[in-house]
Amino acid sequence: MTDNTHSIPAGAPPMPPASDAAERAAIDQSCRRPVLFFFGSALFWLLAGTFFAIVTSIKLHDPEFMNRAPLPDAVRFQTGEFLRANPISMQDVGFLTFGRFRAAHLNSVAYGWATSAAIGVGVWLMARLCRVPLRRPSLVTAAGVLWNIGIAIGIAAILAGQSTSVEWLEFPPYAALILGTAYAIIAIWAVDMFASRKPGHVYVTLWYVLAAFFWFPWLYASANILILLKPVQGSVQAIVNWWFGHNVLGLWFTPIGIGAAYYMIPKVIGRPIHSYYLSAIGFWSLALFYSWNGGHHLIGGPLPAWVITASIVASVMMVIPVVVTAINHHMTTRGHFHMLRYSPTLRFVVFGAMCYTLVSLQGSSMAIRSLNEITHFTHYTIGHAHFGLYAFFTMIMFGCMYYIVPRLCGCEWRSAYLIRLHFWTAAYGIAAMVAALTIGGLVQGLMLADPAKDFLGEILAITKPYLVGRSLSGVLLSIGHVVFAYHFALMVLQLGRREGGPVYFNPVEGEARP
């Protein structure tokens, strides 16, 4: 398995020396167990999170959907009727309620899916870019096991009614402690791994990945301590909450996603990144501006104006890293866009990278007070969150998995058809979801701004069809997830293809194929 088999010819660079390929194969093999464990558990939580999502979404337009579970019937017990009839009946239960399922959805996908996938991709990128086999792979796997235990306990606690209701921090402190410990192990491992790298150039992806591994534990610990363990006063909790909540996206998912794109795009295309200088500007401006963004979630809220204004300024300044990164990726891909016809990895990653540009510019605009006045507190914001976490981040993670998994399993994806199905359900599904929530949110926001519009009779009634649309788009996404999980399971079970080269969406024409 060499990398150049995956790059699509048509102007591809000369093949690297065989010794490089052997070295990469050895590095990939060292990642096999921990990275596949993180990917496998990520997909488990993706499926669980998708289930929670669909049910939550339907409940929002059909509040009587799935509120009951079969339980012993207290009423029949009181009448003595249970001795004669079936003592079990459908009863209203708390764990199925909207508010708990919604929290279970967010935490399954944010920590179970996205973070596990990010750690898996991050660990593999670290090994590749440090150019040494993975150090202490069993430690990484152990951290992964601990991480999953923490999430399982946290989700169970939410469903059982122990959610903290602090957005992005719903897990009660005892579950958060397990997660924090697991993550701290990964962070320390990452520093150790970086210190033992082969001397030479530190590629930009490595900055992003290393910084993300460094930032997240600090964020997570600070927020849990200041909001849950030793709480500061209410309004300060709110700003700490959104400093954390936005930085989970900005300083954890975004650097892993962008770092992965910086690796995959040049790798698949087979040419170096357009500008090293631009990538440095992009990285440091992201680190400086993104970390200050959180206050834009509290515009109009009970906080001093300077806090909010500082965050609005930083949000608008985000245009710099976003545009710089977009230019860099575009110039790297320029002249090679035809490769999107063939490479699954490239298609997913480029889709994600383009959405990063769009969603970030949308985010900057949403921080401006006059637009925020309308979009704040509406489905528009929910649409923005899915745009970022799915259309940008999740798509890049899918693309990375299509690249990495064959190299760890030693076999190729079985079916171009399944990958194509995954791509189109994901792309159309998320486009439909973002459209429904964005338009629905704008309608909702404009009507909310007009005090003459009746809350129940007019605003709820008009937004309901958009919520139905969101549920339907979720069904499309679910199909893609099941297909991908099935395809991944085949790979792990060693049922992938062993003959022929990697899977392309379309046959590669001409004699160009090596």
Q: Which of residues 87-116 bind another protein (CB under 8 A)?
A: 91-94, 97-100, 102-103
H/E run at residue 256: helix 254-269
Q: Which stretch binds another protein (CB under 8 A): 31-39, 229-237, 337-345, 404-412?
A: 229-237
H/E run at residue 309: helix 305-317
Q: Which of residues 130-169 bind another protein (CB under 8 A)?
A: 161-167
d(CA 99, CA 468): 18
d(CA 136, CA 134): 6
Sign of CA dihedral 484, 489, 492, 493: negative
CB of 253 to another protein, least distance (A): 16
Q: Which of residues 280-299 bind another protein (CB under 8 A)?
A: 284, 287-288, 291-292, 294-295, 297-299
d(CA 271, CA 7): 10
Nearer to another protein, 287 or 416 (CB): 287
DSSP sequence for 427-480: HHHHHHHHHHHHHHHHHHHHHHT-TTS-IIIIIIHHHHHHHHHHHHHHHHHHHH
d(CA 486, CA 492): 10
Which one of 14, 17, 451, 500 is in contact with another protein (CB under 8 A)? 451
Which one of 72, 304, 335, 465 is in contact with another protein (CB under 8 A)? 304
Q: What is the CA radius of gyration of the chain?
A: 24
Is 276 an interacting residue with respect to another protein (CB under 8 A)? Answer: no
Nearer to another protein, 206 or 353 (CB): 206
The torsion defined by the Cα of 412, 414, 420 and 426, in degrees rounded to 10, comes to: -80
Nearer to another protein, 245 or 406 (CB): 245
Nearer to another protein, 18 or 305 (CB): 305
Q: Where are the alpha helices (DSSP H) in 8-164?
A: 18-61, 74-79, 98-107, 116-130, 137-159
Is 238 an interacting residue with respect to another protein (CB under 8 A)? Answer: yes
Sign of CA dihedral 455, 458, 464, 466: negative
User: How many residues at the interface with another protein, by CB under 8 A?
Assistant: 89
Which residues, at least 6 apart from 500, have a Cβ–Cβ distance to it below 8 Å?
412
CB of 372 to another protein, least distance (A): 8
Contact letters for another protein, residues 354-393 (x by CB under 8 A): ---------------x---x--xxx--xx-----------
Nearer to another protein, 148 or 279 (CB): 279
CB of 429 to another protein, least distance (A): 22
Is 310 an interacting residue with respect to another protein (CB under 8 A)? Answer: yes
Q: Which of residues 401-440 bind another protein (CB under 8 A)?
A: none
Contact letters for another protein, residues 1-40 (x by CB under 8 A): ----------------------------------------
Nearer to another protein, 77 or 424 (CB): 77
Sign of CA dihedral 147, 149, 154, 156: positive
CB of 215 to another protein, least distance (A): 6
Which residues, at least 6 apart from 92, have a Cβ–Cβ distance to it below 8 Å?
67, 68
SS3 assignment, position 28: helix
CB of 333 to another protein, least distance (A): 27
Which one of 52, 215, 263, 466 is in contact with another protein (CB under 8 A)? 215
Which one of 236, 320, 432, 439 is in contact with another protein (CB under 8 A)? 236
SS3 of 65-82: the string is CCCEEEEECHHHHHHCHH
Q: What is the DSSP letter of 415?
A: -
CB of 223 to another protein, least distance (A): 9
Which one of 14, 17, 457, 510 is in contact with another protein (CB under 8 A)? 457
Q: Which of residues 48-77 bind another protein (CB under 8 A)?
A: 59-61, 63-64, 67, 74-75
User: Two tokens at 284?
Assistant: 């440091």
d(CA 95, CA 160): 6
Q: Which of residues 166-205 bind another protein (CB under 8 A)?
A: 166-167, 194-195, 202
